[in-house]
Amino acid sequence: MENFLHIAAVWLHVLGIALFVGPQFFLAFAWVPASRQIEDLQTRVAAMRTITTRFGWIGGIGLFLILVGGTYLIMTWRDYHNIVEGTAFFDLRYGVVFVIKMVLLVVMIVLVGLHMFVVGPSQVDAMEEQARGGAVSEKDIRRLRITSMVLSITGLILTLVIMGFGVSLGAAEYSLQQF
């Protein structure tokens, strides 16, 4: 039963990662270049709103599954890896790698949150205003676009690094060595 629950938790964790990471690649490398081919600005902005809102839902569900699977994995790590009584969390690489992973996770969530709830919506609002013929300067749009790109690329790189730390935890020959 314990093995089954462990497998289910890793499955949830990995499914969540796929849902969280996949759309980020899709948005950056498929949607952004494709959207530039939509010449009518209002149509482009409307499509942008739909796709980023859907991305928010898919990525949010992904993050939730990551947290559910991850919480189970960290609550059961001692039993699963048969850790000897009296071994402190930071005696092994496992503890140190886990804490670094959590710190990076917090930074990544702050960056993704800033992108999703602050910069992204301002960018789409500015584009919408421009499409309506409002007075929005190219300079402002450019500044928002660059900020948005920096946030999304940094968030994606951090996510890939966090995955590396996760895989290191799972590689017991490495992670269960004395620190």
Q: Quick check: 17 binds ligand HEM (CB under 6 A)?
A: yes
Given 70, 115, 144, 151, the residue binding ligand HEM (CB under 6 A)? 70
* Site stretch for ligand HEM (CB under 6 A), options 40-48, 51-59, 120-128, 157-165: 157-165
Closest CA to 9 of 88, 80, 59, 109: 80
- Binder to ligand HEM among 45, 48, 73, 127 (CB under 6 A)? 73
Question: Which one, 117 or 174, has the nearer CB to ligand HEM?
Answer: 174
Burial (CB < 10 A; 0-12, 13-18, 19+), residue 76, is middle
Q: How far is the CB of 144 from ligand HEM (least distance, A)?
A: 26
Rounded to the nearest 10°, the torsion over CA 48, 36, 19, 155 is -100
Spatial separation of the C-alpha atoms in residues 88 and 6, rounded to whole Å? 22
# of chain residues touching ligand HEM (CB under 6 A):
18
Binding flag, residue 159, ligand HEM (CB under 6 A): yes
Please give the residue whose beta carbon sits closest to ligand HEM in the complex.
166
From 32, 60, 3, select the one nearest 127 (Cα to Cα).
32
Kindly state the smallest distance separating residue 168's Cβ from ligand HEM, in Å.
Answer: 8
Kindly identify the residues of this chain, within the stretch 111-140, that bind ligand HEM according to CB under 6 A.
Answer: none
DSSP state of 177: S
Distance, in Å, from the CA atom of 91 to the CA atom of 137, rounded to the nearest integer, reads 56
The set of residues, in sequence order, having a beta carbon less than 8 Å from that of 14 and lying 6+ positions away, is: 69
| Contact positions vs ligand HEM (CB under 6 A) | 10, 13, 17, 66-67, 70-71, 73-74, 77, 105, 159, 162-163, 166-167, 169-170
